[in-house]
Structures are given as C-alpha cells and as structure tokens.
C-alpha cells in the first residue's frame, strides 16, 4: 500500500502503531498524529522522544481535545494518571507548563499533553468535567505553581496552609528561609 492510500484510509483501532520504548520498560504511547488534522487549531506540535509521545496544545479548545481523547474509540484515555506543573525558569517565556499524563485502561497506552503558559496569564481550563481525578491534581498544581484552573469547582490550596504566601515549586522561591 502506498503512503497516500494509507492516509486516505480511516485507521482502525487495532492498527494503532506503537512506539518502541527502551529495553527495560514496555510503556506504549498512542499514535497521536491523527490529532493534527482533527484539532489543527488546538494542537501545536506532536513530538516523540525516548518512545514517549508529547502533544503540545493550546489551552483554547483543550477541554474539547481532552474529551475527544477520552471518548474516541482508538484513544479511550479513560484514566488521568497525572497533572504536573513545570516551571521552565524565572526568565523563561512561556514560563510554565502544565503536563497531563493520560492512560487508557482499554488499549494500555499512554499520552502526554502539554500546555505552555505565560507568567502574566497562567490559567488553563479545568479538566474536572472530563476526569474527576483532575480535582485534587489541579489543586496541587495551583498550590505549588500558582497556575489558575478556570471553572474548577474547588480551587483552594491543598497541601499548604490557606494563608501561605507564594508558590514553592516556582524556581524563584527560595529553598532556604530568611
């Protein structure tokens, strides 16, 4: 089959190509190239490194993208593994990344979705409507990085006291006290 014919054919769930991983680990990542056409405005970049596929997305349309990833038969990411915040450095722009790790119990594959945020506008829509797990995980990112999750039902600090000042996992937060 030629490449063009392959592209024209709608792909079936069982033909998902999986990336090779390092010898001592067998985690499979989903082939996300389909998202390029379906979510052309939201998805900025799809890359693969060390056998792990990263989808860089814009926050506009993120909820739709995640709902699609959850419902679509060939992805079925019904399990939200993790929501992580990363501070890319106090002088970096964009400054923050919010990283979602998705897992599909059905297909046994994973995917990483990443959203970059500027410091003066660090907000993303909440995923609480897609996965309930997101509730606490997003609260932790808010607590540690000060990233706001729009429409979150209960966006409070989770690990630190309510009157705490600052967000300790930011790179400009001192490790030592006064």
Partner 1 sequence: MSRGSQESSSSFVLGPAMQTKEITVPTSSVAMMGERDPLGDTQMTVSMGPQHPSTHGVLRLELVLDGETVVKATPDIGYLHTGMEKTMEKEKWQQVVTITCRMDYLNSMGNDLGYCLAVEKLMGVEAPPRAQVLRVLLTELNRIASHLVWWGTHGMDIGAMTAFFYAFTEREKILDLFECATGARFHQSYFIIGGCRWDIPDNFPALCADFLNGFPKFLDEAKRLLTGNKIFQRRTQGVGRISTEEAIQWGLSGPSIRASGVNWDIRKSEPYSGYESYDFRVPVYHGGDVWSRYLVRMDEMEESLKICRQALERLKEKGPVMADHPKLKLPDRELMKKHIDVMIHHFLIASEGFTVPIGEVYFPIESARGELGYYVVSNGQERPWRVRVRAPSFVNLSALPAMVEGQLIADVVAVIGSIDIVLGDVDR
Residues that bind partner 1 (CB under 8 A): 22-28, 49-50, 52, 54, 78-82, 84-87, 99, 101, 103, 105, 108, 110, 112, 131-133, 135-137, 140, 144, 157-163, 168-169, 173, 175, 178
| Long-range Cβ pairs for the range 9-12 (8 Å, 24+) | 11/74, 12/74
CB of 34 to partner 1, least distance (A): 21
DSSP state of 81: E
Q: How many CB atoms lie within 10 A of CB 79?
A: 15
Nearer to partner 1 (CB atom), residue 3 or residue 25: 25
3-class DSSP assignment, residue 127: coil
Nearer to partner 1 (CB atom), residue 62 or residue 111: 111
CB of 69 to partner 1, least distance (A): 15
Q: CA angle 30-17-46, nearest 5°?
A: 50
CB of 28 to partner 1, least distance (A): 7
Nearer to partner 1 (CB atom), residue 17 or residue 37: 17
Q: Which of 104, 106, 112 is nearest to 51 (CA)?
A: 112
Nearer to partner 1 (CB atom), residue 7 or residue 166: 166
């Amino acid at each position: 089959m030629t490449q063009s014919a392959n592209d024209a054919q709608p792909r079936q769930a069982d033909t998902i190509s999986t990336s090779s991983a390092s010898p001592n680990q067998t985690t499979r990542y989903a082939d996300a190239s389909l998202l390029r056409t379906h979510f052309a405005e939201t998805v900025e970049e799809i890359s693969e490194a060390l056998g792990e596929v990263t989808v860089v997305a814009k926050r506009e349309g993120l909820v739709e993208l995640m709902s699609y990833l959850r419902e679509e038969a060939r992805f079925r990411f019904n399990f939200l593994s993790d929501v992580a915040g990363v501070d890319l450095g106090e002088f970096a722009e964009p400054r923050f990344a919010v990283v979602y790790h998705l897992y599909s119990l059905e297909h046994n594959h994973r995917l990483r979705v990443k959203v970059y945020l500027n410091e003066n506008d660090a907000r993303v829509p909440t995923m609480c409507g897609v996965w309930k797990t997101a509730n606490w995980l997003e609260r932790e990112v808010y607590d540690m990085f000060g990233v706001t999750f729009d429409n979150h039902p209960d966006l409070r600090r989770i690990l630190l006291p309510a009157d705490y000042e600052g967000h300790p996992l930011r790179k400009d937060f001192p490790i030592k006290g006064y």
